[in-house]
């Protein structure tokens, strides 16, 4: 969860031709943990152009937000705890280039360990299956590196399925048949097969596929580097390239791919960072 109560306000007075003009950078949550989505708000940018920045060396895309600029960035769930540098630069209304920089301290999330036993064939892959899974992972990485330069999402993100329980399991460090595996990067909603799965927000259908681990999947591009993922689907109700609105059905719950029963695996990706998708539901962004 985003810790809204803890808001760090950093006042950075810049060396500029107009001394005293302050740029305020606010980071929410102020002390992020591994796997957190982070909002950066920059005030004092009225009339600014070319607002851009980075977090931990990764590019961060800003969008106009009221009288300020804001950006959504992610801390990967396996990021090393400790300092992460951020940097913001822009051209002010008078045409002067300005910049600000600082560091965030990322805390360890303390993700639980989950031990699973699965059929050997789904864990110890034969070379062909391994090649296929590697190719599919590479295809997803290429997609996450593709940043649509406009924000397609608006307002709150909705839960993608009407489930009996809130989705959980993010960050679980998995030990499958006694061997450490990739951590669980989504949240799982258990629901009956055939239950409609809806778009969490407005976006473009960036990818449909039948993947070894993910099964039948839909990936939505929400712009500015944010993607949401819907895995193990039974059916798909959209086509690639199609724009979908928040709440629009994209498919139905299933158990395709590596799955032990009908459920929706819902995940969020910000660039290369795997972030906790349930944080999208409580983002403090109003429009
Ligand atoms: Zn899952």
Q: How far is the CA of 267 from the centre of ligand 1 (A)?
A: 8
Q: Please tell me the distance from the alpha carbon of residue 107 to that of residue 135, in angstroms, as a whole number.
A: 33
> pLDDT at position 3, please?
41
Q: How far is the CA of 186 from the centre of ligand 1 (A)?
A: 5
User: For 87-112, what is each residue's pLDDT tens digit?
Assistant: 999 998 889 998 889 999 999 999 99
Q: Please tell me the distance from the alpha carbon of residue 234 to that of residue 228, in angstroms, as a whole number.
A: 18
**Is residue 203's pLDDT more than 50?**
yes
Mean pLDDT over 150-170 rounds to 92
Q: How far is the CA of 244 from the centre of ligand 1 (A)?
A: 23
Mean pLDDT over 200-225 rounds to 98
Q: Please tell me the distance from the alpha carbon of residue 58 to that of residue 69, in angstroms, as a whole number.
A: 18
Confidence tier at 120 by pLDDT (50, 70, 90): confident
Average pLDDT, the chain: 89
> pLDDT at position 57, please?
87
Q: How far is the CA of 78 from the centre of ligand 1 (A)?
A: 17
Q: How far is the CA of 234 from the centre of ligand 1 (A)?
A: 15
Phi, psi for residue 139 in degrees, rounded to 5: -65, -40
> pLDDT at position 239, please?
98
In the chain, the percentage of residues whose pLDDT exceeds 90 is: 72
Q: How far is the CA of 92 from the centre of ligand 1 (A)?
A: 45
Mean pLDDT over 227-240 rounds to 98
**Is residue 77's pLDDT more than 50?**
yes
Enter the pTM of the model.
0.90
Q: Contact, 216 vs 254, CB < 8 A?
A: yes
Confidence tier at 47 by pLDDT (50, 70, 90): confident
**58-65/68-74 β-pairing:** antiparallel
Q: How far is the CA of 7 from the centre of ligand 1 (A)?
A: 31
Q: How far is the CA of 39 from the centre of ligand 1 (A)?
A: 25
Closest among 57, 108, 102 to 81, alpha carbons compared: 108
Q: How far is the CA of 187 from the centre of ligand 1 (A)?
A: 6
CA distances from 18 to 21, 27, 96 (A): 6, 25, 10
Q: How far is the CA of 66 from the centre of ligand 1 (A)?
A: 36
> pLDDT at position 106, please?
96
**Is residue 75's pLDDT more than 60?**
yes
Q: How far is the CA of 114 from the centre of ligand 1 (A)?
A: 12
48: which residues sit within 8 A by CB, 6+ positions away? 69, 90, 91, 92, 93
Mean pLDDT over 208-225 rounds to 97
**Is residue 15's pLDDT more than 60?**
no
Q: How far is the CA of 116 from the centre of ligand 1 (A)?
A: 13
> pLDDT at position 227, please?
98
């Amino acid at each position: 969860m985003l810790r809204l109560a803890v808001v760090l306000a950093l006042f950075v007075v810049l060396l500029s031709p107009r001394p005293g003009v302050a740029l305020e950078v606010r980071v929410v949550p102020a002390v992020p943990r591994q796997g957190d989505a982070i909002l950066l708000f920059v005030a004092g940018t009225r009339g600014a152009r070319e607002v851009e920045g980075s977090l931990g060396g990764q590019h961060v895309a800003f969008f106009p937000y009221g009288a300020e600029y804001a950006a959504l960035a992610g801390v990967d769930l396996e990021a090393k705890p400790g300092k992460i540098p951020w940097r913001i630069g822009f051209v002010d209304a008078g045409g002067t280039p300005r910049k600000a920089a600082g560091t965030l301290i990322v805390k360890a999330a303390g993700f639980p360990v989950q031990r699973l036993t699965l059929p050997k064939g789904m864990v110890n892959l034969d070379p062909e299956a391994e090649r296929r899974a590697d190719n599919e992972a590479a295809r997803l990485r290429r997609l996450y590196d593709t940043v649509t330069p406009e924000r397609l999402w608006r307002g709150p993100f909705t839960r993608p399925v009407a489930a009996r329980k809130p989705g959980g399991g993010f960050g679980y460090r998995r030990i499958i048949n006694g061997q450490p595996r990739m951590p669980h990067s989504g949240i799982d909603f258990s629901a009956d097969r055939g239950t409609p799965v809806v778009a969490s927000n407005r976006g473009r259908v960036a990818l449909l596929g039948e993947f070894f681990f993910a099964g039948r999947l839909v990936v939505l591009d929400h712009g500015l580097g944010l993607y949401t993922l819907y895995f193990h689907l039974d059916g798909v109700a959209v086509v690639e390239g199609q724009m979908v609105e928040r709440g629009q059905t994209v498919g139905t719950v299933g158990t395709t791919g590596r799955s032990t029963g009908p459920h929706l695996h819902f995940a969020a990706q910000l660039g290369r960072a795997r972030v906790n998708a349930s944080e999208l539901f409580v983002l403090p962004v109003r429009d």
